[in-house]
Amino acid sequence: MWLLGVVVKFGGPAAALDEDTVSRLARGDHDALAELYDRHARLMYSLALRIVGRQADAEDVLQEVFSQAWRQAARYDASRGSVGGWLVTLTRSRALDRLRRARSEPQAAPDEMIAADIPDEAPAADRQLVTEQQASQVRAALDALPDGQRIPLELAYYEGLSQSAIANRLNVPLGTIKTRMRQALLRLREALAGEVR
Amino acid sequence: MTSQPESHDVLRERAALHAIGALTAPEREAFESHLKVCADCAAEVAAFLPVGIALAQVVPLHDPPPSVRERVLADARGQPASPRVTRAFVPWLATAAMFLLTVGLGFYVGQLRDRVRSLEVRLRDALVRLDDGERRVAVALRAAAAAEAPLAVLTAPDLQRIDLAGQPPAPRASARAFWSRSRGLVLTGSNLPPLPAGRVYQLWFVTAQAPISAGLLKPDEAGRLSAVLDTPADLPTPVALAVTLEPEGGRPAPTGDQYLVGLTQ
């Protein structure tokens, strides 16, 4: 698991500070919540806004996630990921929930058309925030992707659509979508790894 | 028919999608079962997990409004979140508001309808009372006018007194008239015989041309007369007043016996 060693480097002092803050959060320290908010709310809000598209919904998502973090701080397990990764994962999950509720009304979409959240049972020790530089590299790689690869990936990640749903929406064969998405993810992984090689 | 188990290659292709949360629930369930027994796929997932996080970090950055921080902290303190009306709640609020408005309006309309009914009833009562009041006022005015009429006559500058004497059908009867051409005539009398059925006394201004009716008279049970009458229009100068017995309703010209007669001055 060479990656684990790499990930440890991603953590650093900020991650340690976050873990201490969450420990205080678990003891009901309100100042800890304010600190956590000040460190992560901007990214969480931006992600929520990218997904739900409406400022008011994004605000609600942000409030929901911090409320959940406040209630569940004692259950946070540092071995499963950084605090930042945890908060971002919760944010995406809540935002997609809201998006799906809005989208599926009045008729619920079938299960096979909806992508699941980021898995909780995955080896979450790798769920760390990347550095600013890595994020820039991934952003550049994403922008450089052909539309045929970028758009399906964005639909999957920011709209929570399954590959079948993406194929339907783009009117492209499912096999093509699978291939393009895998190619896109490989490109992004390469861009990310470029920093740590 | 039992479905064929998916090949490892097919499952492994899902690792990257699983890492970024892009599998459907059935796909995810099947893949996670496989993950428990496949270190290769677990490593593949781990390799793509940072990509999933990085995708969250490449979004355009925006600062949340300061009010959200306040709400988050207030929420944690167990205090009621600050009241807010966000656009996200506008449809819900609008629906709720419309519902409440509809219920409220319905209730209000019901109240208005009851109120209108009540007012209509009161208005009808008021109109009835008004009619009754107007009638009472009219009666009072007439009574007042009637009361004032003799006084007006008696104070008239052109007042004449005319004494009427009983005639053969009623030798004990007598009457006195005060007449003003401008204001009318006041007549009092006594000892008039009771009226036969279907008969009435009629007063006449006797002029050089012809007798002109001044009105009908009915004595009380004691044979007393009391009447206030207008002066007939265009009355020629009368030479006398006379009372005759006439059929009910009177006659344009005297037909019956004279009961009282008095000469003007």
Chain A residue numbers with beta carbons less than 8 Å from the beta carbon of B77 are: 30
B141 near A CB under 8 A: no
> Which among B48, B56, B88 has the least Cβ separation from residue A56?
B88
Q: How far is CA B119 from CA B127, B130, B201, in A?
A: 12, 16, 52
CA distance B229 to B183: 9
CB within 8 Å of chain A, chain B residues 68-107: 68-69, 71-73, 75-77, 81, 86-89
Lowest mean pLDDT among B77-91, B129-143, B144-158: B77-91
Domain ranges of chain B: 8-57, 89-154, 160-263
Which of A185, A187, A192, A197 is the mutation pick for testing B, counting most B CBs within 10 A?
Answer: A185
Mean pLDDT of the region B132-152: 74
Instruction: For chain B, give the DSSP string.
Output: -PPPPPPHHHHHHHHHHHHTT-SBHHHHHHHHHHHTT-HHHHHHHHHHHHHHHHHHHSSPP-PPPHHHHHHHHHHHTTPPPPP---GGGHHHHHHHHHHHHHHHHHHHHHHHHHHHHHHHHHHHHHHHHHHHHHHHHHHHHHHHHHHHHHHHHHT-TT-EEEEEEE-TTSTT-EEEEEEETTTEEEEEEE-PPPPPTTEEEEEEEEESS-EEEEEEE---TTS-EEEEEPPPTTPPPEEEEEEEEEETT--SS--S-EEEEEE--
- Token pair recorded at residue B49: 């997990």
pLDDT in tens, A44-67: 999 999 999 999 999 999 999 999
CB nearest B62 (choices: A34, A49, A186): A49
Question: Does residue A6 carry a pLDDT above 60?
Answer: no
Which residue in the set B20, B43, B64 is minimally distant from A59, CB to CB?
A: B64
pLDDT category, B84, cuts 50, 70, 90?
A: very low
Q: What are B238's strand-pairing partners? A: B207
Average of per-residue pLDDT across A165-184: 94
> In Å, how far is B7's CA from the nearest CA of chain A?
16
Residues B146-164 pLDDT 10s: 667 777 788 888 888 999 9
Residue A3 has pLDDT above 50, yes or no: no
pLDDT at A196 over 60: no
Closest chain B C-alpha to A138 CA, distance in angstroms: 7
Q: Which residues of B touch A127 (CB under 8 A)?
A: 49, 52-53
**Mean pLDDT in residue range B72-81:** 72
User: How would residue A72 be classed by pLDDT, with cut points 50, 70 and 90?
Assistant: confident
Q: Are B202 and B217 in contact (CB under 8 A)?
A: yes
Residue A79 has pLDDT above 80, yes or no: no
- Tokens for B34, please give them: 């496989």
Q: What is the pTM of this model?
A: 0.55
C-alpha torsion sign, points B34, B36, B38, B40:
positive
Beta bridge partners of B161: B178
Question: Which residue in the set B21, B49, B63 is minimally distant from A115, CB to CB?
Answer: B21
Does residue B79 have a pLDDT over 50? no
The answer to whether the CB of A115 falls within 8 A of the CB of A162 is yes
Q: Is the pLDDT of residue B81 over 50?
A: no
Summarize the confidence of residues B44-51 as an average pLDDT.
Answer: 87
Nearest-angstrom CA–CA distance, A105 and A151: 24
Q: How far is A121 from chain B (nearest CA, A)?
A: 8
Superfamily of domain B160-263: Superoxide dismutase, copper/zinc binding domain (2.60.40.200)
pLDDT for the residue B75: 85
Give the model's pLDDT for residue A74: 84
- The whole-number pLDDT of residue A1 equals 36
pLDDT at A112 over 70: no
Mean pLDDT on A80-91: 87
Q: CATH for A12-118?
A: 1.10.1740.10
- pLDDT tier at B92, thresholds 50, 70, 90: low
Which residue of B lies nearest to A41 if distances are taken between CA atoms? B64
Whether B21 sits inside 8 A of A116 (CB atoms) is yes
Find out whether the peptide bond into A106 is cis, omega within 30 degrees of 0. Answer: yes
Residue predicted with more confidence, A120 or B54: B54
Q: What is the mean pLDDT of chain A?
A: 81
Average pLDDT, chain B: 82
Burial (CB < 10 A; 0-12, 13-18, 19+), residue B41, is: buried
Mean per-residue pLDDT, A127-139:
85
CB–CB contacts below 8 A, A to B = 203
Contact B19 A91 (CB under 8 A): no
Q: Identify which of A64, A70, A123, A53 has the alpha carbon closest to the alpha carbon of residue A93.
A: A64
- Whether A7 has a pLDDT exceeding 70, the answer reads no
Q: Taking CB atoms and an 8 Å limit, are B54 and A163 in contact across chains?
A: no
B17 touches chain A (CB under 8 A): yes
Q: Give residue A127's pLDDT band: very low, low, confident or very high (50, 70, 90).
A: low
Which pLDDT band holds residue A140 (cuts at 50, 70, 90)? very high
Contacts of A93 in chain B (CB under 8 A): 21
The residue ranking higher by pLDDT, A117 or A145, is: A145
Cβ–Cβ of A62/B72 closer than 8 Å? Answer: yes
Q: Is there a contact between B53 and A128 if contact means CB atoms under 8 Å apart?
A: yes
pLDDT surpassing 80 at residue B191: yes
Sort out which chain A residues have CB atoms less than 8 A from B49's CB and list them: 122-124, 126-127
The upper half-sphere exposure of residue B65, i.e. CA atoms within 13 Å in the direction of its Cβ, equals 12
CB within 8 Å: A55 and B24: no
Residue type, A122: A
Buried b (16+ CB within 10 A) or exposed e, A23-60: ebbbeebeebbebbbebbbebbbbbbbbbbebbbbbbb
Q: Please state which CATH class domain A130-197 belongs to.
A: mainly alpha
Q: Where do the domains of chain A lie?
A: 12-118, 130-197
